[in-house]
Amino acid sequence: MFDVQKIREDFPILKRTINGKPLVYFDNAATSQTPQVVIDTIIDYYSNYNANIHRGVHTLSQEATDAYETARIKIQHHFNAKHSHEIILTSGTTHGINIVATGFTGFLSTGDEVIVSALEHHSNIVPWQMLCERTGAILKVIPMNEDGELLMDRYDSLLSDRTKLVFVNHISNALGTINPIKEIIDKAHAAGAAVLIDGAQSCPHIKPDMQALDVDFYVVSAHKLCGPTGVGMLYGKEKWLNQLPPYQGGGEMIDQVTFEKTTYAGLPHKFEAGTPNICGGIAFGAALDYMNAIGFDSIAAYEHELLEYGTSKLLEIEGLKIYGTAANKTSVISFNLENIHPYDVGTIVDKLGIAVRTGHHCAQPIMDFYKIPGTIRASFSFYNTKEEIDMLVDAIKKAQMMLG
C-alpha cells in the first residue's frame, strides 16, 4: 500500500523549516529531493571504497569498479536496454544531448532537416541549433495548441526524406504535457530519421522501455529521480553509438595511444573520457532501487491524484489561469494570477515556506507562445500531500490580496 507519511520519513530535508514554516517543496520538476538510502550510499562510498575505477588492481579500485558497473546494469534493466554498453553515464541530460548533437555533425549536410517541438527545454533546442549552424541543416518546429499539445498532423507534414533527426521531450517540464512519443518515433523511422527523446521529466514518473519504444537515443538526469546532481544516462542503440564519434578525448576512452594515431575503446567507454562521477553513478543505481521498491505504478497513480486535486483547488482562485491543459499530463501545474507578475507571487509564497518555481522554466518559446513573461510552476512528487496543496492555495490567496 502507498503510504505517503511513511515515504516522507525517508526524506530528511522534508523536516526542514523555512522562515519558521514547514518546508513545502513543489519544485520537483527542477530537481527532486534525496532519500536517506541514497545519501547513505554516497556516505558509504566516500567512507569505505573511494577509488578510481577500471585501472587499479587494488581492492578499493575493484570494489568501486564493481559497484559502478553494477549500477550501469541496474540502469540497463530499469530502462530495458538490450545491452549494458548502450548505457553511457553522463553528467546529465544536457551532456547526453550534446554528445549526440555534436556526434551528428559529420552526418548532416546543407539542406538536411531536423525537427524539434514547440514544447522543448532550452537544452533540447540550443545544441541542435549549434548543429544546424555547423552543417547547414534546417531546424523545423512541431507547433502546439493552446492546451500545450503538439499538433501531430503538422508533424506529419514536416516529415520528409530530408528529415534526418527528430528530438522531442517525453514530458514537458514547463507544462507537464505527456507527448505521444511512440507515434513520433514510429513516424520518424518510417521517414528514415533517427529520434532522441529527452526523458528528464518522464523518468521521475514513469518507467520508459527502450526496446518497446524502439527509440534511438534517450537521455535522463539522475537528480530528477531522487539521485544526485551531475550524473545521468545517455541510452543509444548499439548501431548508433558505434557510428558516432567520441565527444571528448582523454583517459578511459582509448584503446591504444601513440603520437601517430590513437584507436578508441569500445562501448561504453568510448563516450566516457576521464574519471567519471563514480559515486554519482552508484547513487543513481540506488535511487532507481528506491523508486522501484515503491513502484512506478503507485507513484504515477498517486501523483495523478495530486494533479487533479491541485488543479481543482487552484482553479477556485479567482483570476488564476492554468497554462498547459493537455488531456495527458503529469503533476506539473503552471499558472498565473491576473495582472500580477509571477516573480512577486513566488517571493511571497517562499516567505510562507513554499518552494515553487517562477520564470520561463528554460522554455522561453512556450512563454512567447502564450505571450507571458513566465509562470508560477508547482510540480508535485510522490512525497507531497494534499495538505501541502491546501497550504499553497492559501499562500496564493494571501499573495493575491497583498499584490492585487
Ligand X SMILES: *Cc1c(COP(=O)(O)O)cnc(C)c1O
362 is catalytic: yes
- Which window, 92-100, 279-287, 325-333, 385-393, contacts ligand X (CB under 6 A)? 92-100
Task: CB nearer to ligand X: give 184 or 396.
Answer: 184
Closest among 52, 344, 383, 100 to 232, alpha carbons compared: 100
- Binding ligand X by CB under 6 A: which of 201, 331, 334, 336? 201
Give CA–CA dist 163/143, Å, rounded.
Answer: 17
Note whether 78 binds ligand X by CB under 6 A. Answer: no
Stretch that binds ligand X, among 13-21, 49-57, 152-160, 194-202 (CB under 6 A): 194-202
Q: How far is the CB of 337 from ligand X (least distance, A)?
A: 24
169 lies in the site for ligand X, by CB under 6 A: yes
| Shortest distance in whole angstroms from residue 361 CB to ligand X | 8
Which residues 6+ apart lie within 8 Å of 32 measured at CB?
204, 223, 224, 225, 226, 381
Asked if the bond preceding 268 is cis, omega within 30° of 0, the reply is yes
- Asked if 45 and 53 count as a contact pair (C-beta separation under 8 A), the reply is no
Q: Residues 364-403: x/- map of binding to ligand X (CB under 6 A)?
A: ----------------------------------------
Kindly state whether residue 124 participates in binding ligand X, applying the rule CB under 6 A.
yes
Taking each helix axis from N to C terminus, what angle separates 386-403 and 342-351, rounded to the nearest 10 degrees?
120
**DSSP per-residue letters across 256-324:** EE-SS-EEE--TTGGG--SS--HHHHHHHHHHHHHHHHH-HHHHHHHHHHHHHHHHHHHHTSTTEEEE-
- Of the candidates 132, 203, 226, 362, the residue annotated as catalytic is 362
Residue type, 150: L
Q: Does 200 bind ligand X (CB under 6 A)?
A: yes
Pairing state between β 194-198 and 163-169: parallel
Q: Residue 175 Cβ, how far from ligand X at the closest point, in Å?
A: 11
> Per CB under 6 A, which region of 88-96, 253-261, 351-359, 382-390 contacts ligand X?
88-96
34 binds ligand X, rule: CB under 6 A: no
As a whole number of angstroms, the distance between CA 317 and CA 401 comes to 11
* CB 231, min distance to ligand X, A: 9
Residue among 28, 32, 76, 94 that touches ligand X (CB under 6 A)? 94
Cβ-based neighbour number of residue 92 at 10 Å: 23
Site residues, ligand X (CB under 6 A): 92-94, 121, 123-124, 169, 173, 198, 200-201, 221, 224
Give me the active site residues, please.
362
